[in-house]
Amino acid sequence: MKTSAKLVLVLLTISASYINAQLREFVIKELPKEEKTQVIARQTDEAIVTIHTIVKGLSFTSNTGGIVEQRGSDAEGKYLLFVKPEKQFITVKALGFKEENIRLTSIEPRGNYQFTLQEKIPEMEKGTGKLSIITNPSSADVSIDGIPAGKSPYNSPQITVGSKLIGLSLLGYRDTTLVISVEKDKNISRVINMLPQFDVVKYNYGITSIVPLGGLIGRTALEYTEKSVIIRYDLNGAPDEDYEVSLVMKSKTDSKIKHTPKFVSGDIGEGKFYGRDRQIVWNFDQEFGSGGLDNDDLFIEITAEEVGISNWWYFGGGTSLAGILVVVLWDKIFPPDDSPPVIHQPPPRPTGL
């Protein structure tokens, strides 16, 4: 019996070793520091870990539970992990791959850390291919895996096989990143239309922070797109309840400034807004016109209240009205006596003694 158990254990060990040997591997590289740029303005101390990849079906866990939120998808070729600013390692998993760790040994609040992730190329499949990149307009700065590679149009007659993170930048246009897979002995060509960038110098939002009021609003974040402000928030409460969410813009230095946004859409007004990552889009350009505002000390107050409940009724108005009703009913049941008060005199002294 003992011999059979040992044989089964040996077979299981061999089987596990064989399966492990068949698993593919990740290659993870951190981008140079000059490539780290803040992509989202958040009002928390969370850092952002950006992973550029074409590998499908990735999942991420932290040994400290430090991943607060995850965005991105296979379709985007990019994942954003919002993590607590603490020492930790992120475990990356995918079906058919060995687990791999991203070690974050030194992480700063609101820092941005970018990585590329690709499949490790077996020795027998290693080689080179050709890569050409054309941009409209041309003369964009091209970088490959964070290393400057010249200007577009870019042509490389010999580039190593594997996934490459391509960075494109051109004055007046949005920075563009994409992942391209280079295959052995193949010519890979891409044409990228650069998107115009709004002038951040001339266009001023002036909004530097967001302040949640009351206990219903959880985490908040601000994002800036072309002439719009995106307000993200978490709303605590009950899934079946209706809530009224409102915004007010104020100034840190001028108490007279108090503006209620008009050109807003998304999770604002009345509705069932319970949950995480609710979104309000404020069309700043439509509200204030070209150029934005001259202020640089503005902030947004966001408030959420349950529809149909008023604090005045429960704590002020309700009590006062109840008191009035009691007085009225008491007077109806026990009408006041308007007759003069009766003064009882002492009994007369006895006579005839």
The three-state DSSP-derived secondary structure of 206-262 is: CEEEEEEECCCEEEEEEEEECCEEEEEEEECCCCCCCEEEEEEEEECCCCCCEECCC
Confidence of residue 41 (pLDDT cuts 50, 70, 90): very low
Phi-psi region of 42 (alpha: psi -120 to 50; beta: other; left: phi over 0): beta
pLDDT of residue 16: 47
Closest Cα partner for 284 from 194, 224, 218? 224
Confidence of residue 25 (pLDDT cuts 50, 70, 90): confident
Q: Is the pLDDT of residue 351 over 70?
A: no
Cα distances from 343 to residues 233, 251, 326, 340, 346, in angstroms, run 72, 69, 31, 9, 10
Helix (H, G, I), strand (E, B) or coil at 65: coil
pLDDT of residue 37: 43
pTM of this prediction? 0.46
Q: Where in the sequence of the chain do the CATH 2.60.40.1120 domains occur?
A: 123-193
Cα distances from 148 to residues 119, 133, 173, 189, 236, in angstroms, run 23, 14, 18, 19, 46
Of the listed ranges 173-187, 234-248, 336-350, the least confidently predicted one is 336-350
Closest Cα partner for 54 from 163, 188, 182, 168? 163
The answer to whether the CB of 224 falls within 8 A of the CB of 314 is no
pLDDT of residue 329: 44
Q: pLDDT, tens digit, for every residue of 304-343?
A: 999 875 444 444 444 444 444 444 444 554 555 554 444 3
Region 262-269 average pLDDT? 93
Question: Can you tell me which residue has the tokens 């993200």?
Answer: 232
The answer to whether the CB of 143 falls within 8 A of the CB of 175 is no
pLDDT of residue 5: 61
DSSP 104-135: ESS--TT-EEEEEEEEPPPGGG--EEEEEEEE
Q: pLDDT, tens digit, for every residue of 56-111?
A: 888 999 999 999 888 877 666 788 899 999 999 999 998 888 899 999 988 888 88
Could you tell me which CATH class the domain 207-306 is placed in? mainly beta
Phi-psi region of 264 (alpha: psi -120 to 50; beta: other; left: phi over 0): beta
Confidence of residue 267 (pLDDT cuts 50, 70, 90): very high
CA distance 248 to 19: 59
Summary mean pLDDT of the chain: 76
Question: Which CATH code, of 2.60.40, 3.30.1490, 2.60.120, 3.30.70, is assigned to 25-119?
Answer: 2.60.40
Please give the CATH superfamily to which domain 123-193 belongs.
Carboxypeptidase-like, regulatory domain (2.60.40.1120)
Q: Is the pLDDT of residue 303 over 90?
A: yes
pLDDT of residue 224: 77
CA distance 112 to 48: 5
The answer to whether the CB of 38 falls within 8 A of the CB of 50 is no
pLDDT of residue 322: 44
Closest Cα partner for 141 from 172, 119, 101, 110? 172
> What percentage of the chain reaches a pLDDT higher than 70?
70
Q: Is the pLDDT of residue 346 over 60?
A: no
Confidence of residue 248 (pLDDT cuts 50, 70, 90): very high
DSSP 279-331: EEEE-HHHHH-TTB-S-S-EEEEEEEEETT--HHIIIIIHHHHHHHHHHHHHH
302 φ, ψ (degrees, to nearest 5): -120, 130
Q: Is the pLDDT of residue 14 over 90?
A: no
Q: Is the pLDDT of residue 202 over 60?
A: no
CA distance 279 to 301: 15
